Amino acid sequence: MLYAKHYKMADDVIDHTRTIAPTIVSPSLLSRYTGFSLLSGVCVYELAIKTILVEFARQRDRVFCNFIEESFKKLNARITLNHLKNDYLKKFGNNYLDLFILLLDSREMQILNSERKSIKNCYSNTIQWRHIFVHEGLPPQYATFNEVVDSYELGKNVIDCFASALIGSGIGNTWLLP
């Protein structure tokens, strides 16, 4: 899980913010911390996805790897579920897309049953909230800091499924469920 190293940057910011959040009396200031946590979270999502794409290419061919590295120098928030499916996986072949959908649906059901939360919605919400914060200066309207953090954490499952579909479970068999 080479890509998971990127999470530390956002996790450190979020962990620090968790320690001070209970002491923040200004809702406006807490909403800013929430927004900055979103920025960090989506940034590491982008870095993780880029790392997965490069590793996928590296496993196949050096020239392909160079092409992927150049193509994804500026990923620029093109990491929605639709982007993952249609702009990346579909172009590598339907087998990768089908496997991602299978893995994602399986993980979705598992977490829906255990935690009553949708990883697909959490992932999408995190990206959408970040977009609104960056482009409109507005923090999430109907989500608390803790809900934002939970969504970020659960959204990592989408990236795990993406990695499993492209580069496997770490033992060379991409058809294993995570």
- Write the pLDDT tens digit of every residue in 129-174: 999 999 998 888 889 999 999 999 999 999 999 999 998 744 334 3
Instruction: Residue 90: give the domain boundaries.
Output: 2-167
Please check whether residue 178 lies inside any domain of the structure: no
Residue 66: what pLDDT? 80
**Structural domains in the chain (count):** 1
Q: Is the pLDDT of residue 17 over 80?
A: yes
Among candidate residues 81, 77, 125, the one with its CA nearest the CA of residue 105: 81
Please check whether residue 172 lies inside any domain of the structure: no
Please check whether residue 38 lies inside any domain of the structure: yes
What's the whole-model pTM score?
0.89
Please check whether residue 174 lies inside any domain of the structure: no
Among candidate residues 48, 51, 42, the one with its CA nearest the CA of residue 123: 42
Please check whether residue 173 lies inside any domain of the structure: no
Q: How far is CA 62 from CA 5, 48, 56, 100, in A?
A: 23, 20, 11, 24
Please check whether residue 177 lies inside any domain of the structure: no
